[in-house]
Each structure stands twice: as structure tokens, then as C-alpha cells.
A and B are shown apart, each in its own frame.
Chain A
Amino acid sequence: MAIKVENLTKQFILNKRDGWRSIKTEVLAVDSINFSVNSGQSLALIGPNGAGKSTTIKMLTGILHPSAGQAKVLGLTPWRERTRLAYQIGAVFGQRSQLWYHLPPEDTFELLSRIYNLDRNQYKEQRNLLIERFDLGPFLKTPVRKLSLGQRMRAEIAASLLHKPRLLFLDEPTIGVDIVARQELRDLIREWNKQDGVTVLITSHDAGDIEHVADRVIVINHGHIVLDDNLSNMRQRYLSSKILSARFHGEHKTVDLHGAKVLQSANYSIEVEIDTSVVTTEKVIKHILELGTIADISIEDPPLEEIIAHIYSQPVTNNDSSTHT
């Protein structure tokens, strides 16, 4: 078991000013959450801003002490055994760099080898492996300030793997990165998770990161876990609609079917949203085939963003979803 969390709670006390008076307000950032993560699993912890996911990660890395509850990360209590745990975890924060801005990545690697007390031969072996797998060779000696964001993030993730961590925390690792570099980063994280068995815990607002990297998703909102499931189950549970796109050889008739809403209509094409709770997909396809001569037809799930937005908009209940491993 890589992570086990029981009734983990974090309460902050905020001082609010009311004229000259200072009023203390208690804010429950994380409210008695429970979950566990198996070794080698890849978990996405998602939620809107202020949901409590960063606070959870900070407690799991030993940065913050919880107000109540227990957590074991790789068998250690993070806030009591922070230093021991740090040897076994890696962390990448998209908004925080551990690379030295004015120096090439190789200099930071060298420093990290000293910080983690790495054996020289093992360090060189791991560094060379990372240079090869992350294709760092072309910019290893270039100051970080001159790298593209994609290159920087590749070096950033490689730096976090130098000490061979068993668990990798990734907090918005693709933020601001272009679409090609983003895909490369996702592939590298996925590869490291699958081939080397590193447990991954990723937070991101990018649905693509979740879709490509995670086996399982925990949605956290207002300090509560509102969903804990794998990606396909999550889709099924929250999908009550599908998108049907059709192209015709000639002009087509108009759609007239309850539960099928036209999103776009042109002379030779049409896009329809099917409400599967009202009408079956099969019935809609039959209706579309009657509208004209079909050249092409496709049915897709709505984008993951829409599902996530739907989950975020659900009212909060005090019951966590059942623990899932």
C-alpha cells in the first residue's frame, strides 16, 4: 500500500478584519477524508480551486500537520517522519521549480545528488538513464532560463526521479505547456508509472492529463471526497448524453425526435446531443438514417471537461464515497 488516509482533517484559522477588530474564523480545508492507493497505481486528485487537494498533498508530503486523522505514506507518517519520507518521494510542482534558473539542468542534478546523498555510481547511472529516456541531451548544458517550458518541465520531472522515488507527486505538471510538449510529458509520466512501477499522484485542471495519466480519479470539493472511481466508471456514472455527428451525401431533413437536441446543422452535416435517459442511441441512429443518405456517422462521449464540471457542480454531502483501492 503506497498511501492510506483515514479521517484526515485540516482546519485553518483565518483572521478577518472588521474595522479595528480582528475576527477569527475557522475554515475546514479538508474534512475527514478517507482513501488508499496501491503501489504502482496512478491516481488523479482533482477538484476546483480551493477544494482542498493542495492541502491534502501538503499533508501527505509532511509539509502541513493535520488537525485530526491519520495518514501513512509508504509506511511512514509524513509530518512526523518527513525527512525519511523525502528520500522515497519525488515532487513536481508546475508552478515551482527546483531547477536553478541561471544554470544548466546538469548543475541542479549534481546538487540534488548531494542533497539526497546518492552513491556516485548509482547517481551517474540513473542520471544517464533519465537523460536518455527524457531526451535531455540536447539541452543538458543550456541554462534553464533559455529552455522552453516543455523542455524545462521534462528536466524538472527527471530531476524529481534522480533519487529513484517510489511515489511521485505531480501538482499541475503541464500548466502553461503547449499541446505537443504536454502530450510528451504525459507519455513520460505514464511510461515511468507502468515500466518502473512508480506510484503517481497527479493533480491537474487539464482533463487530458487525467485521461492519459490516471487509472483512477478522486474528486475533492469543499474538503470532501465527492467521487472515487476509475475513469471509465466515472464516465458511465455521470454520462447521460452522447454526441452524434453525421455527414450526408446531399441535403438532409430536419431532426424531429424527443431527446435528440440539434447542436449544429449545415446543408450536408448535423450534430446532435442525445439524452440517453429519454431516448436510446439506437433509436436516434435509426431516425438519422431516415433523414438522408449517410456518408459518415460517429458517436462520442462529451469531453471529460464537461463531466468534471458536472461533478464539481453537484451539491456537497457529508458522506465520502466508499474507499476504493
Chain B
Amino acid sequence: MFFAKILNYIRLAIAYVRLNWLSHIEYRNAFYIEAAGMFLNNVIWLVFWVYFFKAFPTVPTWTSSDVITLWAISAAGWGIAFVIFGNCRFLANIISTGQLDAWMLYPRHLLSHLILGKMKPSAFGDMVFGFAMYLFFVRPDFPHLALFCILTVSVAILFTGFSIVAGSLSFFLGNAESLALHLEFAMICFCTYPAPIFEGRIRWLLYTVLPALFVSYYPIEALRNLSIEQALYAFAGSLAFASIAVYVFYFGLKRYESGNLTVMRG
């Protein structure tokens, strides 16, 4: 029963990804430019960080390979999250403008259905960048590559959960569109710094409010040591945060005020 539900949801997710893909490639030039632009943007940042670490080895235990792994897993996780669950990033707007109504008319669980609704074209660039960088520059063996692929799922779950929490702030603040955007930028920013540079209270902050260490610490440690235990910690953190996100969304939903805005899909 449970697996049948999961399979059913995967089928639905595939149908949404297909439709979103078709919708975006109606304007294929714009789509490819946006995806390629994001790829290039990531490359520039990565080159900067690799040179920075070579010039200033501030984290002695970290090599340029770790920096590439960190960027690769962050980008791939981010990409997977918003290729599939891209509507998370519009959640604050959907709530504040009363557009949840349309989603409530479908016979699906609201949140899990709603987040499938849109795709971020730039997320494709991130996803391709993440896997390409890891394959070409880290040159992993099969176990490392397999673990990397599994951990990108954990990172994607975390980013999706964080985006849901950020967007759900609109339930409590009225319009949290800008705040959600800033929080997401802060999250991705902290995720791309090596975890060892953060200590003390900041580290606790990065386990809780901005849970970046479940991207920049446990997955990297898991890949460095090929450690299943560290990978499980990463998954546990991501799933815990995703559970909190679901709770926050449905708690906030009780405060939802519907609207009558004119909108078109896709």
C-alpha cells in the first residue's frame, strides 16, 4: 500500500516534470540561456574558491577536491530539488496572493502536490554543473559516485524542506516573499563554505535555523571517508528538517486566507 502510494506519487512527479520541461522549451533559447548562465555562474565561483584555497590554506584539512565536492553536491542537490519541486520557491507568493485555492480543488495531499507545480530552469544548470564537476574534477570510483548520487537526494530533501519553511512564513507574516528569498540565499551561501570554519554558536545555528551543515559537513565527511554512518546523519538531518517543514506548512495553513486573483498555469 505504502509503496503503491510512493509509486503513484513518482508517476505524478514525472508527469509534472515532463509538462514543466515542455512548457519551458516552448521558449528553448531563453531556457538554455538561463540554464547555461547558472552553469557558468557556478563555474566562476568554483574557480574563485579553488584558487582562494590554494593561495590561503585556511582550512588545513581541506583540499581543492573537497571544495569541488562541496560545490558539486550543493549544486546537484539544489538542482534536483528545484527541477522537481520548483514550486517551493514560489510558495511565499502563492500563499500571500491566495493562490492555494486552486490547489485545494485537486484530490491530492496539498503540499506534496503543490510543490511539483513549477520548475526553475536555472536549476537544470545547477544539476548538470554538480554532476559534471564531480565526475570530471574529482574523478570518483564507483562507490564514491554511488554515494554522491544518494547524498544529492538528501541535500535535495533539505533544500526543499528549507524552502517550504521559508515560504510558509507568509502564513504568519502576510507577505514573506522577499524574506524567503533572502533566507534561501543565506542557506545556499552557508552551504558552500567549508564546515570546519564555523565554530561555537554559529555551528549550532547551522544545525538548526540555517541547517547548512547537513550539506557542508556530513555529506562531505561521508564522501571523504566513504562512511555510511555520516551519510545516515545527513539523511536524518534532512528528513527531520523536511518533517518540520511539513508541520510548519500545515500549522500555517490554518491561518490561510483565500483570494481571487486571476492566474494562468505553466
The interface of chain A, by Cβ under 8 A from chain B, is: 12, 54, 58, 61-64, 82-84, 86-87, 89, 91, 93, 95-103, 107-108, 110-111, 114-117, 143-144
A-B contact pairs, 19 of them (CB 8 A): A54-B260, A58-B101, A63-B101, A83-B107, A83-B108, A84-B107, A95-B261, A95-B262, A96-B102, A96-B262, A97-B264, A100-B23, A101-B264, A101-B266, A102-B27, A103-B19, A103-B26, A115-B106, A144-B264
**A93 and chain B: residue at smallest CB distance:** B102
**A112 and chain B: residue at smallest CB distance:** B106
Is B258 in the interface zone, CB < 8 Å from A? yes
CA distance A62 to B262 in the complex (A): 20
The B79-98 residues at the A interface (CB cut-off 8 A) are none
Cross-chain contact of B12 among A82, A99, A103, A114 (Cβ < 8 A): A114
| Residues of chain A contacted by B109 (CB below 8 angstroms) | 83
| Residues of chain A contacted by B12 (CB below 8 angstroms) | 114-115
The interface of chain B, by Cβ under 8 A from chain A, is: 8, 11-12, 15-16, 19, 22-23, 26-27, 101-102, 104-109, 113, 257-258, 260-266
Determine whether the beta carbon of B258 is less than 8 Å from that of A115. Answer: no
Determine whether the beta carbon of B266 is less than 8 Å from that of A61. Answer: no
CA distance A208 to B257 in the complex (A): 32
5 cross-chain pairs, A with B, having the tightest CB-CB distances, nearest first: A100-B266, A86-B107, A114-B15, A101-B264, A95-B262
Determine whether the beta carbon of B8 is less than 8 Å from that of A103. Answer: no
| Residues of chain A contacted by B11 (CB below 8 angstroms) | 114
Determine whether the beta carbon of B107 is less than 8 Å from that of A110. Answer: no
| Residues of chain A contacted by B107 (CB below 8 angstroms) | 83-84, 86-87, 115-117
A-B contacts besides A100-B23, A111-B15, A114-B11, 4 pairs, CB < 8 Å: A86-B106, A86-B108, A111-B16, A115-B113
**A100 and chain B: residue at smallest CB distance:** B266
| Residues of chain A contacted by B257 (CB below 8 angstroms) | 12
Given contacts A103-B26, A114-B12, whether A61 and B104 have CB atoms under 8 Å apart is: yes
Shortest Cβ distance from residue B135 to the other chain A in the assembled complex, whole angstroms = 33
| Residues of chain A contacted by B263 (CB below 8 angstroms) | 96-97
Shortest Cβ distance from residue B114 to the other chain A in the assembled complex, whole angstroms = 12
Determine whether the beta carbon of B22 is less than 8 Å from that of A103. Answer: yes
